[in-house]
Amino acid sequence: MEEQLDNERVEKIAFVLKTVAHPMRVGIIDLLNRNEKMSVNDITVYLGLEQSLTSHHLANLKMKGVLGSKRSGKNIFYFLKMKEVPQIIKILEDVKVNVF
Amino acid sequence: MEEQLDNERVEKIAFVLKTVAHPMRVGIIDLLNRNEKMSVNDITVYLGLEQSLTSHHLANLKMKGVLGSKRSGKNIFYFLKMKEVPQIIKILEDVKVNVF
DNA sequence: TTTTTACATGAACATATGTTCATAACTTTG
DNA sequence: CAAAGTTATGAACATATGTTCATGTAAAAA
């Protein structure tokens, strides 16, 4: 039998889930899971969003440790850093729910 | 190579993540993952919470399809319904993050 | 060195979420 | 049937979150 999760672990788990729990951010992570790295503009265009909004979400994901970024000329490329996150998405790929 | 997630899937994935993404709810799910079923009071005491607050979170998790419930005498027992959810928690068990 | 391209940032706002408190509903027991 | 035990519910409130808009900053190109 495994041990019960202590408070700190529960907090950390909830923290990561909260960071990812948004359609745009799930979409971004899915993209970066198939592409190694992408520029802000690539992501923006690919998901059909607004530049500023994309930046906000990317900054969020980076700040919380899910993504990393690296400048290359005019572009800034984002990439996955927290390897657990795409695994989570994978598990939920075929989940059956009734969204309201 | 796997296919890109369509909008509907992304929405559903985010929906489930959002439902779980709270320390109390992660704690509840962890409890129900080791106990099959528990009464509201058991959960309340075990996690050291308030009755009303526990009820609200349980109702939330049930409404979204993560938990189920069944009355037995004075008690109402809750149990896990969405099997993917504990798997997600398992993946994040040892995740390393700096919560702010 | 001005212009253009690419991205970041902050304020303002609307909406969603979490918690508390008071009370209601249901079940068993006396 | 009244009382006690168990859970649900709704209003009110505080806080967090997501989005837009305007503007700032950095690199490359003209």
Distance from CA of B35 to the nearest CA of A (A): 11
User: Which residue intervals of chain B are DSSP H helices?
Assistant: 7-20, 23-35, 40-47, 51-63, 84-92
Q: What is the pLDDT along chain A (100 residues), one digit of tens a residue?
A: 567 889 999 999 999 999 999 999 999 999 999 999 999 999 999 999 999 999 999 999 999 999 999 999 999 999 999 999 999 999 999 999 877 6
Question: Which chain B residues contact residue A98 at CB under 8 A?
Answer: 65
Q: What is the phi/psi pair of residue A37, to 5°? A: -155, 150
CB A85 within 8 A of CB A61: no
Structure tokens at B91: 């993946």
Structure tokens at B26: 């992660």
Buried b (16+ CB within 10 A) or exposed e, A63-87: ebbbbebeeeeeebbbebebebbbe
Chain C: bases < 7 Å from a protein Cβ: 5-10, 17-23, 26-28
In SS3 terms, A18-87 reads as: HHHCCHHHHHHHHHHHHHCCEEHHHHHHHHCCCHHHHHHHHHHHHHCCCEEEEEECCEEEEEECCCHHHH
Structure tokens at A60: 């969020």
Question: Which chain B residues contact residue A84 at CB under 8 A?
Answer: 91-92, 95
Q: What is the pTM of this model?
A: 0.94
Q: What is the pLDDT at residue A99? A: 74
Dihedral of alpha carbons A85, B10, A12, B100, sign: positive
- Interface probe for A, chosen from B2, B3, B60, B91 (most Cβ of A below 10 Å), is B91
